[in-house]
A and B are shown apart, each in its own frame.
Chain A
Amino acid sequence: MALGFAIGVFGVLILFHAAYSTIQYRGLLKITEEEFSGPPFNVVIELSLGLVLCMWAALTVPGKFLSIHPDSEENRIVSLPANLDFMIFNHRGKVFPVEMDLKLKQ
């Protein structure tokens, strides 16, 4: 988590450095009175590197995806009772489709 954040910050710093290089390059072009057709090659490389780092950070920093199935292992919301006094049979489970097979958790 902190590593992803650090990589993101590093990517943004690379982008700022590329921006500064491009500003200096434009100043140079103004002196020699040439047209700006594109930033120099190493700035393009720098921008691609910064973009790749930021993309990696954007995909890993916000957190993991959580499963939305109600019957997956980490989403268990009921534990079957062992005591006969607390077993409930008249609940709303009867409106669910029949093919869901419940797993018994001992």
Chain B
Amino acid sequence: MVHSESGSEEKKSSNAVNDLLTFNAENMQNNMKIIYYSRTFLSIIGGVVAGILGFTGLKGFVFYLLLMAVTSVGLVAKAKFSTQTYFDSWNRVLLDGFLGGLMSFVLFWTFAYDIVHIF
């Protein structure tokens, strides 16, 4: 008996970055969700740490960039250094969730700074 799953396979036209013609979109979404959760949580924690340390101005943003760089390295290590198996392009692993995380970082940074240093 031939089984075929409907709805989990998707055809994507090839572009310059990848050479996969089809991939399992449901697993791709799962992987993107994992990256998003990891980055958001670490942005919040990084914001609290930056507020406690008393960073102001540019130092805080440099701290955020360092934190996101370490997160990217950690995510690539989690993917066992073969992003081809889990994602269709490099940019997704490195850059997805960066700006959303920046908003959360600044929010919790100012929050922690106010609590620890001003009140």
Contact = CB atoms under 8 A, between A and B. Distances in A.
Interface of A: 8, 11-12, 15, 18-19, 22-23, 26, 36, 38-39, 43-44, 47, 50-51, 54-55, 57-59, 62-63, 65-70, 72, 75, 77-81, 83, 86-88, 96-97
A7 to B, nearest CB: 13
Q: Which 8 A-B pairs have the closest CB atoms?
A: A66-B27, A68-B23, A62-B37, A62-B34, A65-B86, A54-B45, A58-B41, A58-B38
Given A15-B52, A63-B30, A68 B116 contact: no
Contacts of B102: none
Contacts of A70: 9, 22-24
Interface in B72-113: 74-75, 78-79, 85-88, 112
A15 B28 contact: no
Nearest to A38: B54
B2 A79 contact: yes
A69 B49 CA distance: 39
Nearest to A100: B21
A63 B34 contact: yes
A67 B82 CA distance: 10
A47 B31 contact: no
A68 B85 contact: yes
A66 B49 contact: no
A59 B75 contact: yes
Contact of A50 (B2, B49, B86): B49
Interface residues of B, number: 44
Interface in B32-48: 33-34, 37-38, 41-42, 45-46, 48
A18 B54 CA distance: 13
B1 A83 contact: yes
Given A19-B112, A36-B117, A57-B41, 20 more contacts: A12-B45, A18-B52, A19-B115, A26-B117, A39-B52, A51-B46, A55-B70, A55-B74, A58-B45, A59-B75, A62-B33, A67-B85, A68-B23, A68-B25, A68-B27, A68-B28, A68-B86, A70-B24, A83-B1, A96-B21
